Amino acid sequence: MRNCNLHDVPSLVDCRHCASRALAVCNAIDDAHIDALESIITPICRKAGQIIFEEGDRVDHVFNITAGVLKTFKMLPDGRRQITGFLMTADILGLAGREGFAYGAEAINEVHLCKIARRDFDGLMRRYPELEHRMLAVARDELAAAQEQILLLGRKRADERVASFLLGLSKRAPQRRLLSDRLDLVMTRADIADFLGLTLETVSRVFGQFKKQGLIALAGPHEVQLKNIPRLRELAGGETEPA
């Protein structure tokens, strides 16, 4: 498991101009003290398919994604997999769980992360209570998103799930969104299926059906254009703000 760019890895930590700073938790700390932050951060990078950590690993780090996309997932003993989230730039990774991580995390494309030791992070929160306040706010949002996903998995039909998924993606992905209504699906059909509690065949069929009905257009399997957002919203079931 080698890192991505072995030549330019360390010491290039520049929180002030970090792409994810605007949205991230880090801006709880003012510019003057940001070197305190920089000194405890280790930037890491994982290529597509590489593991960041496994379910149950001791929680002694928190991560902040600065570029790329990854998935978090849980497995059953017989190999069934449930993806619990797709995380991207500015997202925090590693909040769920106290003793061990509640899920494993794997890179979907090349991912860059800031890695912070839990011990250091706790110290930082003690010095900057505003930081802890923001972490709690992030946790609240994630909790709300999880409830939304629980509703989806417990009570929505296949087409409703896919519609919710597309709208959910379009709400996020500030940089991944190509144009106003075009979005780039980085993940495979199998990933989408494991996120939505379906099979890849069903996901593919719903995409096909949406295309025929003019709800979406597909320029290749990974570029989707939402052509009828009101109807998709209707299918998704009204409010759909899964963070």
Partner DNA sequence: CGGTAGCTTGATCGGTATCAAACCGTGTGG
Partner DNA sequence: CCACACGGTTTGATACCGATCAAGCTACCG
Q: Which residues bind a copy of itself (CB under 8 A)?
A: 74, 76-77, 80-82, 84, 95-98, 102-103, 125-126, 129, 132-133, 135-137, 139-144, 146-151, 153-156, 194, 196-197, 237-238
- Residue 150 or 178: the one with the smaller Cβ distance to a copy of itself is 150
What are the two backbone dihedrals, phi and then psi, of residue 49, each rounded to the nearest 5 degrees?
Answer: 95, -15
What is the smallest separation between the CB atom of 158 and DNA, expressed in angstroms? 4
Question: Nearest distance from residue 208's CB to a copy of itself, in Å?
Answer: 22
**End-to-end alpha-carbon separation of the chain, Å?**
31
218: partner contacted, choices a copy of itself, DNA, none (Cβ within 5-8 A by kind): DNA
The whole-angstrom separation of Cα 73 and Cα 84 is 5
CA distance 93 to 113: 9
Q: How far apart are CA 151 and CA 231, in angstroms?
A: 19
The vertex-10 CA angle with 9 and 13, nearest 5°, equals 105
221 binds, among DNA, a copy of itself, none (CB under 5 to 8 A by kind): DNA
User: Tokens representing 35?
Assistant: 């070197």
In the complex, which residues of this chain contact DNA (CB under 7 A)?
157-159, 188-190, 197-205, 207-208, 218, 221-222
Give which of DNA, a copy of itself, none residue 97 binds (C-beta under 5 to 8 Å, depending on kind): a copy of itself
The contacts of residue 81 (CB under 8 Å, 6+ apart) are 73, 74, 75, 194
CB of 40 or CB of 218, closer to DNA? 218
Q: Which is nearer to a copy of itself, 51 or 136 (CB)?
A: 136
227 contact, one of DNA, a copy of itself, none, CB 5-8 Å limit per kind: none
Residue 164 binding result from DNA, a copy of itself, none, given CB thresholds of 5 to 8 Å by partner type:
none
Query: How many residues are present in the chain?
Result: 243
CA of residue 3 relative to chain centroid, distance: 20
